[in-house]
Chains A and B, each alone.
Chain A
Amino acid sequence: MKFKGYRRPDGKIGIRNHVLILPCSFCASETARFTASLVNGAVYIPNQGGCALVKKDLEITLEVLSGLAANPNVYGTVVIGNNCEAVQASLLVERIKAKTNKPLESVVIRDAGGTIKAVEKAVSYAQKMVQDAGMIEKEEAHITELILATECGGSDPTSGLAANPVVGHLSDKFVSLGATSILSETSELVGTEDILAPRCINEEVANKLLKIIKDNEEHFERAGESLRFGNPTTGNKEGGLTTLEEKSLGCIHKGGESPITAVYGYGEMVKEKGLVVMDTPGQDVASIVAMVAGGAQVAVFTTGRGTPTGNGIVPVIKITGNSETAHLMADNIDFDASPVISGEKTIEELGEELFDVVMDVVKGKKSKAEALGFNDMSLARECNFC
């Protein structure tokens, strides 16, 4: 199956053509926002981190920020640093260059002589990039070059019944066509070890999967907390969920039934085809951002209660199985999967319809959050700020 996209110098294919203004830290975030507001066609990613970080968190931040710049939907990037933060502009530029050879510039606020001069410089870089980006013609690409991010949030009983199984069908379809689908949210995998490990293509992948789940549990134990305690919650039980397996199955159904071909760290660049797992937290935005950093060009997000979340680089397509949510939040929800519950349509039928909706977005139709210019950003952290 073919579609048209923007071919990048690193060989990857984008479905959008953004110029990214990327702040190294919270100190540079406002300057980046100001820059992007002056250039038509530039997007900026708000950054609430980037400094006062332990070593592991510095690594997480560099991995994700460089991944965002390397995302195929990005034409080129202007990095903006303050000067003294942990994520030095030069360090981030080096990391981006290790991942991609796309257009890249950087500005350091102190070196430029303050915010106004830094903005002047950054705007001129971004302006040129936006102009040049407009010269790129879409080329034919193969669906095998697409990476789909899957996410769930604001779940209710309809998520496991309708929205997640429908996305599972979509994920299996992507995989069967030779593309890639990412299953995320490690904390939701707890309790599904016996189901997921045998689905891994080999022992190495299975061991990696079991390790991220174990590490995740231990992470909470070190803080004196338990993921299993009180899970399913009282509210979950009142809602009809009985066991942790049942709760987690509702979530992992987004990954369909395909074999798991690889397991990736948080924000790590995804290279394998098929269904892969990424080690992300259950917080929706921090999970989506990591998959975008991993190279996903398009994201699907299932929700029961409804959520407005969007991403500045990748279109996020919202799916609900709750007909009330589909009506109440019609301007946030792209796809109503509730006919599975009313019995009007099957999971397979709706999965096929959703595939068409996703392919329309791949071809250029804006998702609802995208049309509203939503640009949520959150980064997972190992420790609190130091």
Chain B
Amino acid sequence: MYTCVKLKEKDTVATVTKAVKAGEEVRYRFNGVDYTITAKNDIPLYHKIALMDMEKGSVIYKYGCKIGYALKDIKLGEHVHTSNLDSKME
């Protein structure tokens, strides 16, 4: 069962389609290939999960487009939301 959606090749975050607990495995399928990542935190339904490690200041992509910048270093599997993503770098 897939519990996460990645929309475009360039995307660095995906959206979970069920609430996920820290340590839980999250599966998604992209371009016919299955991927599994482990959630670092609790992630509520339809919130974002990091698909890779990102350094502070990195552009974060969803829909293949920029949705903002990483406000701090983000690890693979981390919940990406208002604490670590914003339209502008502070």
A interface vs B, CB < 8 Å? 157-158, 160-162, 165, 191, 194-195, 237-240, 242-246, 249-250, 253, 257, 340-343, 347
Contact = CB atoms under 8 A, between A and B. Distances in A.
B16 to A, nearest CB: 8
Interface residues of B, number: 27
Interface in B34-90: 44-48, 62-68, 80-82, 85-87
Contact of A343 (B5, B45, B63, B80): B5
B62 A240 contact: no
24 contacts: A158-B46, A160-B63, A161-B46, A162-B5, A165-B7, A194-B66, A195-B65, A240-B15, A240-B45, A240-B48, A240-B81, A242-B80, A242-B82, A242-B85, A242-B86, A243-B85, A243-B87, A245-B67, A340-B5, A342-B2, A343-B1, A343-B2, A343-B5, A343-B28
B7 to A, nearest CB: 6
B68 A161 contact: no
B38 to A, nearest CB: 18
Contact of B65 (A239, A240, A249): A249
A130 to B, nearest CB: 46
Best-buried of A157, A158, A239, A242 by chain B (most CB within 10 Å): A242
Nearest to A245: B67
Contacts of A340: 5
A242 B81 contact: yes
Contacts, number: 71
A123 B78 CA distance: 67
Interface string B9-38: 000000101000000000111000000000
Best-buried of B5, B48, B80, B86 by chain A (most CB within 10 Å): B5
A341 B80 contact: no
A319 B28 CA distance: 23
Given A165-B7, A191-B87, A237-B82, 13 more contacts: A160-B63, A162-B5, A165-B63, A239-B46, A240-B46, A240-B47, A242-B48, A242-B67, A242-B86, A246-B68, A250-B63, A253-B63, A343-B28
